[in-house]
Amino acid sequence: MRYVEKISTDPDSFGDADWDDLRAHLSEEEIAELGLFLAFNLGFHTFFGSLKFYPMFSPDGRLVSQEESEKIYGARPESLQGQAAE
């Protein structure tokens, strides 16, 4: 969780001590897997976020238009609400 936070907000702050902590808990294979997973999610969430598309279904399971979905879920996709609150 520390890795994802730092890589997304301030990658320069991820120093040798953080790296040693990561190695203490994860293998090199797991670190490579995790790094790719995090980086691709950051990259594509940023691009997709700019396209402003919204969930296809309402919270009660109805198929809704993008216009209605935007009204339900707000000005940003729900998955970015945490980021928007900063």
Residues making contact with other proteins (CB under 8 A): 3, 7, 11-12, 14, 19, 28-29, 31-33, 35-36, 38-40, 42-44, 46-47, 49-52
Residue 52 burial (CB < 10 Å; 0-12/13-18/19+)? exposed
Cα distances from 47 to residues 25, 79, 80, in angstroms, run 31, 13, 12
Tell me whether residue 25 or residue 63 sits nearer to other proteins (CB atom).
25
Tell me whether residue 35 or residue 55 sits nearer to other proteins (CB atom).
35
Taking the complex as a whole, the smallest distance from the CB of residue 44 to other proteins amounts, in Å, to: 5
Tell me whether residue 3 or residue 54 sits nearer to other proteins (CB atom).
3
